[in-house]
Amino acid sequence: MQSGTLRFTALGDSITLGIGDKQAGSFRGWARLLADAMSTAYAVDFSNLSVAGATAGSLLREQVPLALEHPPQLASLIVGINDTMRSTWDPAGVRRDVLAAADALAGTGATLMTARFHDHPSMLRLPARVRRAFSSRIALVNDAYDEVVARHGGLRVDLAHCPEVFTRDYWACDRVHPAEGGHRMFARRWAAVLAAEGLVFTPPPAETDTPYVPGLRTDLAWLVVEGLPWFGRRAGDLATWAVRMAWVESQRARRAQSAAPVIAMPEQPGLTAVTRVGA
């Protein structure tokens, strides 16, 4: 990375938009925290094009063209969780759209910033069959990002190998959106990755501006102000999604049980906090 003016464009969904980290009446989030930290050492031109509820397809259609109007040097591309929660789940389509978005951004010379998602369903109180199906969908989204990295290199934070991602205080009460602490953790992870590439600056502080105090009042306040509008837009999808995933997983389990004995899965390899790939 070189010094001077740095154009950083963030593309994504509600997580990159900053839901869960509302300050002075507006969302901030990890990308703004990172941009503000970078601006202490560099002239940063930051744009956050993220949209709550965005899917890989809507990002490709709506956000990528806006980003290409002023090609960035750094472009974060983090989307796909909303796709996994839709009854119209289409893994081939998600892969196609994620790769197309990456191709378009990298084609302008942008360094891509992507993430591998952690096993989010393990944080949610879901029936076991739904949880397994949800996890398998996230694994397929991660596969798409693995292809992005293989094709374009870039920078990556691997949340799947980041143990602190499961810290309760890092998440809002819905366990889907990060709280301020989670946004700060993610921004600090990115600061470490960028520093390894020569873009050195003081990372965002870990300390939160608004201390999280767990409790019914805090959770209700968050749900009314931020959570319910998001869930309202997703309600029909989520209900159909949960029922369909449970049914599909049930049928798959029955077929597997009749066809073959149960095979124990190997344990996962050791954890690494941050993975940096590419040039």
Q: Which helix (H) or strand (E) holds 69?
A: helix 64-69
pLDDT attached to residue 258: 57
Of 223 and 46, the structure prediction assigns the larger pLDDT to 46
**What is the tens place of the pLDDT at every residue in 240-260?**
544 444 444 445 545 655 554
pLDDT attached to residue 33: 98
**What is the tens place of the pLDDT at every residue in 71-99?**
999 999 999 999 998 889 999 999 999 99
State yes or no: pLDDT of 115 exceeds 90.
yes
CATH classification for the domain delimited by 5-196, as one of 3.40.1010.20, 1.20.1740.10, 3.40.640.10, 3.40.50.1110: 3.40.50.1110
pLDDT attached to residue 177: 84
Which of 74-78, 138-142, 175-179 shows the lowest per-residue confidence on average (mean pLDDT)? 175-179
State yes or no: pLDDT of 274 exceeds 80.
no
**What is the tens place of the pLDDT at every residue in 18-73?**
998 988 889 999 999 999 999 999 999 999 999 999 999 999 999 999 999 999 99
**Mean of the pLDDT values across residues 99-109?**
98
Q: Where are the domains of the chain?
A: 5-196
Q: Say whether 131 sits in a helix, a strand or coil.
A: helix
Alpha helices, DSSP H only, in 153-227?
Answer: 180-196, 216-222
Between CA 257 and CA 268, with CA 262 as vertex, the angle to 5 degrees is 135
List the one residue out of 232, 164, 230, 156 whose CA is nearest residue 190.
156
